[in-house]
Structure formats: structure tokens, C-alpha cells
Amino acid sequence: MPDNPIYQGLGQLGQQTSAPKTPEEAQLERVPNPHVGTLYLTRFVAPEFTSLCPVTGQPDFAHIVIDYAPGDWLVESKSLKLYLTSFRNHGAFHEDCSVAIGKRVHAFTEAKWLRISAYWYPRGGIPIDVFWQSGEVPAGLHVPDTGVASYRGRG
């Protein structure tokens, strides 16, 4: 890892890191935003998100899109990937997983605005899509469509 002070305190970037066993155990990391004061959008897409049904223990799959307008901090992408991976052994309903992810990333990054769009693949014949955002879209922020179509055999 470079001797740049922005990398100080990052314990996962550039290191071999095991996937956390639970979302509570997962450690998000952040770095300073090099464009503080500039309104822009960052998008993360996790098309193969997995969690467990809390009742049956069967896997649930989702295509997740996280859009956020950074403030002073950026979420470090490897730590976000490991956080999302930690849900693979986590039993929770779709709504709980989706909203918990959005709220945690928003609070941790102190983002100006964040939206999570979680498109869950059907089990039992019903797809469930969950959307949460931290508030009104800031004036002047370009927020493109998520690019995920309504369910028609997603893929």
C-alpha cells in the first residue's frame, strides 16, 4: 500500500482479508473525498447479492444498486464488498437487509444523499423490490435510472 496518508487506518485494502461472518462483524472503511464541495454521484452495483431467508434458511438473491452523493468521505469499495458479502450467512427479510445496508452506508460515509434500490429475485413466485433513500435528491444532482428492469425473468 502506498505511503499516502489517506490510506492510513485502512486494514483491508491491499491485504488478504477473510469475509466477515455477519454484517455486525463487517468493518466498513472510508477515505477522504478528493472533491469535497463538488456535487456528484457514485454508484455501486452488486448484481449477485445473497442473504438467507430467516424462516427457511434458503438463499435469497438480489441485484442491488447503491447511489450516493459523497460529502467529506468515500466508502472504500473493498470494505463495502466484504460488508455485502457478510449477508451470505445472515438471515433477514428483504426489507430488513435492504434498508439496513442503506442506513449503515449513509451514516458511516456521512453522505449528502444516498439511495439503495434492491431488486430481489422471486421465491414463491413474487419478486420483492425495496427502495430507501436518505431524503430529497439534492438540487442539481444527476441521478440516472438504475438500469434494472421490472421483473421479467431478470438477468
Identify whether 60 is a catalytic site residue. Answer: yes
- From the list 3, 53, 67, 129, the catalytic residue is 53
Active site residue 145: no
Catalytic hit among 3, 60, 96, 129: 60
Q: Cα(9)–Cα(1) distance, rounded to whole angstroms? A: 11
Residues classed as catalytic: 53, 60
